[in-house]
Amino acid sequence: MAAKKGGLGKGLDSLIADKVGNSQADGKTEEKQEVLIPISKVEPNKEQPRKNFDEDALLELSESIKQFGVLQPLLVQDKKDYYEIIAGERRWRAAKLAGLKKVPVIVKHLTDQEIVEISLIENIQRENLNPIEEAIAYKRLLTEFNLKQDEIAERVSKSRTAVTNSMRLLKLNEKVQQMVIDDMISTGHARALLAISDEEKQYNLAQKIFDEKLSVREVEKLVKKLQNQKTAPIKENPDKAKMDAVYQDVEENMKTILGTKVTINQKDSMKGKIEIEYYSPQELDRIYELLQTIRK
């Protein structure tokens, strides 16, 4: 399918205005007309990019709707038995929470590609998509509608590099992708993990990032170290390997007991030091009280 020019880089309002003003049917221009319809007749689009909604933000919006109503109409498509949302699912959800019986809508007749594009740009402009949802939407435009990456970038007012980097996140282990969705790790962490091809190692490191609150820079160094270990010849002392395994087990047990990162730095076979990390004054107090109970 040939890519359409003019696209979404102009912004959602501009795109909708273009579609409304330029659509011709039997020599008549389609009018942009807002109407009230029963909220029970409106249903979300199952293919829309956004899957996750912040419950607290929805409650805030519903309180605003109770006072002022739905200020911006939903964009919908007539499906004969119901109206399918093209843009405005968040407003629809909040309106339901507010107890509204009717909502303002503008009924449109758009192609599947136009619906995906409008849903994508609406969510991007409002920063409503998580990084994985955004990447999936880009991939859909790429695979289903044969758009090129630079054409997608033009439509969403982003650089081609930003679109490419976004879609690269879909190469991650699915469990790691879910950690990005759940805000357990950042996109910076996720991009660093892409250098690890083994999905299980990728996920294990993602867990380590979350458990130990590692920074992106720390992860990059750790990934680089892992890659160097792959290429370097292995000259492991069997006795040292056994001791390292013992210390690692001790570290893990202490981490479980104390609920924070613990590092054992061995100076020689007889001595070393233990480092216990904390990330706030409250956490320091918690660790101190825990150690006090052990002393008793």
Instruction: Look at the block and give the residue holding tokens 């190692």.
Output: 201
- Identify the pLDDT of residue 128: 66
Asked whether the CA dihedral 48, 141, 16, 10 is positive or negative, the reply is positive
User: Around 117, how many Cα atoms within 13 Å sit in the side-chain half-sphere?
Assistant: 30
Residue 192 has pLDDT above 90, yes or no: yes
Q: Find residue 25's DSSP bridge partners.
A: 28
- Nearest in space to 155 (alpha carbons), one of 6, 7, 5: 7
Pairwise CA distance, residues 113 & 169, whole Å: 23
Question: How far is the C-alpha of 219 from the C-alpha of 60, rounded, in Å?
Answer: 37
- Torsion, Cα of 93, 95, 96, 100 (10° steps): -160
Answer whether residue 160 shows pLDDT above 70: yes
Percent pLDDT > 90 in the chain is 25
Residue positions annotated with a catalytic role: 89
pLDDT for position 238: 63
Mean pLDDT of 52-70: 84
Is the model's pLDDT at 232 over the cut of 90?
A: no
Tell me, what's the pLDDT at 205?
Answer: 94
pLDDT of residue 158: 85
pLDDT band at 230 (very low <50, low <70, confident <90, very high): low
Higher pLDDT, 36 or 89: 36
> So what's the pLDDT on residue 242?
64
| Residue 101's pLDDT band (cuts 50, 70, 90) | very high
Average pLDDT over residues 275-282: 75
Q: Is the pLDDT of residue 17 over 70?
A: no
- Please, which pLDDT band fits residue 190 given cuts at 50, 70 and 90? very high
CB atoms within 10 A of CB 74: 24
In the predicted model, what is the mean pLDDT of residues 26-50? 72
What is the average pLDDT across 167-196?
Answer: 93
d(CA 175, CA 251): 25
Residue 295: pLDDT band (50, 70, 90) is: low
Q: Whole-angstrom Cα distance, residue 191 to residue 166?
A: 9
138 residue type, one letter: Y
Average pLDDT over residues 121-141: 77
Highest mean pLDDT among 55-69, 189-203, 255-269: 189-203
Across the chain, mean pLDDT equals 78
Q: Are 186 and 216 in contact (CB under 8 A)?
A: yes
Distance CA 87, CA 22 (A): 19
Q: What is the pLDDT of residue 50?
A: 62
Confidence band of 1 (pLDDT split at 50, 70, 90): very low
Task: Give the residue from 151, 80, 78 showing the smallest Cα distance to 120.
Answer: 151
Burial of 5 (0-12, 13-18, 19+ CB in 10 A): exposed
The mean pLDDT of 119-148, rounded to a whole number, is 78
